[in-house]
Amino acid sequence: MKKILITGCLLCSISLSAQEARDAFLDFTPKKEKYQYTFSYDWRVMAGYVQDWQHSPTTTYPDTYLHGASVGATVDFNLPYNLSIQTGLVYALTYGVTNQHWRSVSTEATQVEILKHKVMKHSLDIPIHLYYRQKLWRELALVFYGGPKLQAGIWQQDNIEEHLTPATLNWLKTNNIQCEPYNKYKTELLPFNLQISLGGGIEWGPYRLQAGYDFGLLNLVRNYPAADSAYKAYMREWSWNVIFAYRF
C-alpha cells in the first residue's frame, strides 16, 4: 500500500512539473523589467584651454582672438537613460593682441597707421548642459552635450598702444574711437552674454576629456550710434574649449 502511495505522489509531481514547463514554453508574453530611478549626483573639478573670438563687421571693433585657461567646479544631476544635467561655476582668463589699421588723414593715402589692442578678459561661466553618456567597454564611454551657457564678464581691459600721427589721432577722437587704455565693460560692451554649447568627449572611470564650441547669441555692444552714421554697431563672441575633468 505504501509503495502505491509513493508511486502515485511521484506521478503527480512529474505531471505537475511537465504542465508548468509546457505552460512556460508556450507563454510568448515578453517579460518587462521594472526600472526604478534613484536620484544621484556627481561633483567634478575641471581645467582646460579656451579661445574666445570677438567678431564685428565694423572697423570700430576689430576682430580679436583671445587665448587662455579656465578652471571650475561642476555638479551632474543624473537622470534615467544615461542622461544628466550639468551646472556649476567656471572662471576663465584670456588674453589676445590685434592690430587695428587706419588710413592716415595727414599724409599720402597709401600710408596706414595702427592701434595695437592688448586685451585681457576675466569672466565667469554658468553652464546648463544636458549630457548623454554611451558606454563602450568596461569604464570607457562616449559623452555628448548641448545647452545654454551664461557668461558674466568681470573685467576686460584693453591696453591700447597708438602708432598714429597727431592728425589721425585727433580725427579718431573726434569720431569717438577709443585710443587710450580702458575697461571695455564700463563704456563699450555689455558684461552679460548668452551662448549655446555643443560638444562631446571621451570618459574613462572618473576622468573625462571633452571639447566643444559656444555660439554667442547676443549683441555685446551697448548700441550707441557712431558719431557720423545712423547705424548701430554690434559684436558677438564665440568660444572654443578643450576641458579635462575629474569626478570625485
How much is the average pLDDT of 38-43? 91
Give 49: exposed, middle or buried? Use CB within 10 Å, 0-12, 13-18, 19+: middle
Q: Which helix (H) or strand (E) holds 188?
A: none
pLDDT for 102 equals 82
pLDDT for 34 equals 57
3-state secondary structure of 177: coil
The residue extents of the domains of the chain are 39-247
pLDDT for 151 equals 96
Higher pLDDT, 226 or 237: 237
Rounded mean pLDDT of the chain? 85
pLDDT for 107 equals 61
Does the reported pTM lie above 0.95?
Answer: no
Instruction: Give the pLDDT band (50/70/90) at residue 44.
Output: very high
How much is the average pLDDT of 152-172? 89
Q: Is the pLDDT of residue 232 over 70?
A: no
Buried b (16+ CB within 10 A) or exposed e, 127-150: bebebebeeeeeeebebebebebe
Instruction: Give the pLDDT band (50/70/90) at residue 168.
Output: confident
pLDDT for 94 equals 98
Higher pLDDT, 62 or 23: 62
Q: Which helix (H) or strand (E) holds 19?
A: helix 2-26
What CATH number should be reported for the domain whose range is 39-247? 2.40.160
